[in-house]
Amino acid sequence: MIRADRIFGVVMVIVALGYILSAATIQTSFLSDPVGPRVFPYMVAAVVLISSLVMILRPDPDVEWPVGGMLLQMGLALIVLFGYAMLIQPLGFIIPTVIAAGILSWQINPRPVPAALAGLGLGIGLFVLFKFILGLGLQGLPRALMG
């Protein structure tokens, strides 16, 4: 029977092998210490290999994984967070925060009006808190608008 632990174990075995390959290409200088920069990564990769093999051979009972609509919801959250990470620099703090906080709020409680209000409130409230009370150097609005 295929279990999530087995899949993860196989993935980690591949990652560990890649890690060893990458470690083998680390350049050593002739001034190096007796151990050099490769040995510790090799040891770490060995631990990953052994414990991944244990996971493949003796997997724990499976848990329930999100399917269908829930998977879509989580994918949406992921897209929102990645989008936020990319847009905060060009668009400033307020606009991306209103949108991201609003969508996340709607995902937890699917009523559009309170979610929109939560987004607006958090976007503006947190900006005031961080910029004016805590004194962090945040850009509020898009750079283009600020001139």
Partner 1 sequence: MDIMANLAMGFGIALSPYTLFLALIGCFVGTIVGALPGLGPSNGVALLIPISFSMGLDAISALVLLTAVYYGAMYGGRISSILLNIPGDEPAMMTTLDGYPMAKQGFASDALVISGVASFVGAMVATIGVMFLSPVLATVAFKFGPAEYFALYMLAFCTLGGIGSNNQAKAALAAAIGLGISMIGLDKTTGMPRFTFGEMHLMDGIDFLVAIVGLFAVAEVFHFIETHGKDSSIGVKLGKITINWAKLWSTRWAMARGTGIGFVAGILPGAGASLGSFLAYMTEKSSAKDKSTFGKGNPCGVAAPEAGNNAAAGGALIPMLTLGVPGSGTTAVLLALLLTLNITPGPLLFTERPEVVWSLIASLMIANIMLLILNVPMVKVFVKILQVPSWILLPGVTMIAFVGIYSLTGSSFDLMLMVAFGVMGWLFRKLDIPTVPVILGILLGNAMEDNMRRAMVLSDGDWTYLFSSPIAIGLWIAAVVGFVAPMFLRGILKKPPQPVTDVGTPD
> What does the alpha-carbon distance between residue 22 and residue 20 come to, in Å, rounded to a whole number?
5
Nearer Cβ to partner 1 (47/145): 47
Q: What residues numbered 37-96 form the site for partner 1, per CB under 8 A?
A: 37, 40-41, 44-45, 47-48, 50-52, 54-55, 58, 60, 63, 65-66, 70, 73-74, 77-78, 81-82, 84-86, 88-89, 93
State which of residues 14, 22, 141, 143 lies at the interface with partner 1 (CB under 8 A).
Answer: 22
Residue from 136, 141, 143, 145 that binds partner 1 (CB under 8 A)?
136
Task: Return the number of the residue (90 or 145) whose C-beta is nearest partner 1.
Answer: 90
DSSP state, residue 34? S
What is the secondary structure of 87-147 as a DSSP string? HHHHH-SHHHHHHHHHHHHHHHS--HHHHHHHHHHHHHHHHHIIIIIS------S-HHHH-
20: contact with partner 1 by CB under 8 A:
no
And the tokens for 138?
A: 């945040």
